[in-house]
Amino acid sequence: MAEAEVVSLNELTRYLRRLIEKRLWLKVFICLVLGAGVGFVLGPGTDWLSGQRANDWSAWLALPGNLFLRLVQMIMIPLIFSSIITGIISNSSDQLRQMGLKLLAYFLTTTLLSISIGSALALWIKPGSRIQGLEAPAASDLGVDAEGSLLQRLPDSIGNLLPNNPLAAMVSGEMLGVVIFSILIGIAVMQLKGSNRTAVLKLLEATQEICMTVVGWAMRLVPYAVFGMVAALVLSVGLQSMTSLLVYMGVVVLGLLVLLFIYLLAVALLGKRSPWKFLAAVREAQLLAFATTSSAAVMPLSMKTADEKLGISSKVSDFIIPIGATINMDGTAIFQCVTTVFIAQAYGMELPISQLLLVMVTILAASIGTPAVPGGGVVVMASVLQSAGIPAEGLMLVIGVDRILGMFRTAINVTGDLVACVLFQRWLKPDQENN
């Protein structure tokens, strides 16, 4: 009897190991759950560790995640640079013009859609009306003239999009500047003829390959990184501090789920693919986004997923993924809308339609400008709130749960880029069935 149990236990272990070895997403998922469990056991809820010791544990637990992030960041700038330029040169100028304009229109449309979903849900469910005791300061105390400040800053913000020193943008890891510089250089390289053009292309292709080799090494760390990062997060934040804002969090997550549903409909109806197969193909990238809360950190895996699992031509994915990871943040747009309306409601402020429209336009720009790093979406919120005349101190209400919401919105941001790849693959080759 005991022997039989041992045999079946061994078989089970072997079965589980086989299952896990083949499926990175499952390994990552298990590590995520284990990490949350370990974080909870060691965290403030159980009183096992004193404050200082909890900090020490948290630093050790986060180590594999930090190593992973550093490895990926190390190759991020050359990868963006080489991918965008090779993506541009491998298209003809007609194809490029067609794809560039369509992509811009597509990103604007999905961002506007996300903003509408976020605002509608927040206005309907009114998560902020449950918060009491906050007083809105008089408009004069805020020291901002909502429309004036936005309009005054707009020309400067547009001008600053073009980096005057691309090396400085690279050194400081400013992705939007690097993306814009790469697009310009890519278009300039297209004007080169003969051997010069081939030489540049060869060099950039080699750079891309080298970066992807480093990514391969980083990927081996992913399960440990996910385990440690989630454990460290739960350990330092504690699960209890999240419960008081459940309705607000629920509205953000609901908005993200509505958007996910629309994405899947688009994959089925416009991309002519099975949404289930799509979800199965992208789950590793989603889980990694969930754990790292950085679209930039997931970008290399998104490129691999697009090429190897979704069968997207690299002409399309090399162009869309780096640009999408930088400017297409639909999940962030939903979060920023719900948060703005939530904080206004918490202060008992009414947002008239004109102010709401202003908020929506600001968020359109803010989500494009949000850095693809952990907490990027909440950092730019201060200026969104200021532009709308809402006290930026209201952010203190949500800051405690931002890491959790960052996980969900980053997973949706990354999914949005992969959906764009599927649709563009189809739109650019309408005659080719992809399924």
Which residues are near ligand ASP by CB under 6 A? 293-295, 329, 332, 370, 372-377, 406, 409-410, 413
Indicate the residue among 236 and 293 with the shorter CB distance to ligand ASP: 293
Instruction: Work out how close the CB of 115 gets to ligand ASP at its nearest, in angstroms, rounded to a whole number.
Output: 14
> Which tokens hold the place of 379?
């950092």
Q: How many CB atoms lie within 10 A of CB 365?
A: 19
Indicate the residue among 91 and 328 with the shorter CB distance to ligand ASP: 328
Indicate the residue among 332 and 425 with the shorter CB distance to ligand ASP: 332
Query: Which residue matches tokens 């908020």?
Result: 359
Indicate the residue among 315 and 409 with the shorter CB distance to ligand ASP: 409
Instruction: Work out how close the CB of 2 gets to ligand ASP at its nearest, in angstroms, rounded to a whole number.
Output: 51
Instruction: Work out how close the CB of 428 gets to ligand ASP at its nearest, in angstroms, rounded to a whole number.
Output: 25
Q: Could you tell me where the DSSP H helices lie in 245-380?
A: 246-269, 275-292, 295-304, 314-327, 330-346, 353-369, 376-379
Instruction: Work out how close the CB of 56 gets to ligand ASP at its nearest, in angstroms, rounded to a whole number.
Output: 27
Interatomic CA distance for residues 65 and 60, integer angstroms: 10
**Chain centre distance of CA 432:** 30
Instruction: Work out how close the CB of 351 gets to ligand ASP at its nearest, in angstroms, rounded to a whole number.
Output: 22
HSE, side-chain direction, 13 A CA sphere, residue 33 = 5
Indicate the residue among 207 and 293 with the shorter CB distance to ligand ASP: 293
- Which residue's CB comes closest to ligand ASP? 377
Instruction: Work out how close the CB of 433 gets to ligand ASP at its nearest, in angstroms, rounded to a whole number.
Output: 32
3-state secondary structure of 241: helix
DSSP assignments along 167-213, one per residue: HHHHHTT-HHHHHHHHHHHHHHHHT--HHHHHHHHHHHHHHHHHHHH
Q: How many CB atoms lie within 10 A of CB 202?
A: 10
Indicate the residue among 86 and 111 with the shorter CB distance to ligand ASP: 111
Indicate the residue among 57 and 335 with the shorter CB distance to ligand ASP: 335
> Which tokens hold the place of 387?
């532009």
Query: Which residue matches tokens 């992705």?
Result: 175
Instruction: Work out how close the CB of 374 gets to ligand ASP at its nearest, in angstroms, rounded to a whole number.
Output: 5
Give me the amino acid identity at 3: E
Q: Dihedral sign, CA of 137, 140, 145, 149? A: negative
- Listed in sequence order, the residues at least 6 apart from 32 whose beta carbon sits closer than 8 Å to its beta carbon are 226, 227, 230, 287, 290, 291
Instruction: Work out how close the CB of 174 gets to ligand ASP at its nearest, in angstroms, rounded to a whole number.
Output: 14
- Listed in sequence order, the residues at least 6 apart from 381 whose beta carbon sits closer than 8 Å to its beta carbon are 336, 339, 340, 366, 392, 395
Instruction: Work out how close the CB of 375 gets to ligand ASP at its nearest, in angstroms, rounded to a whole number.
Output: 5
Indicate the residue among 103 and 404 with the shorter CB distance to ligand ASP: 404
Interatomic CA distance for residues 186 and 203, integer angstroms: 13
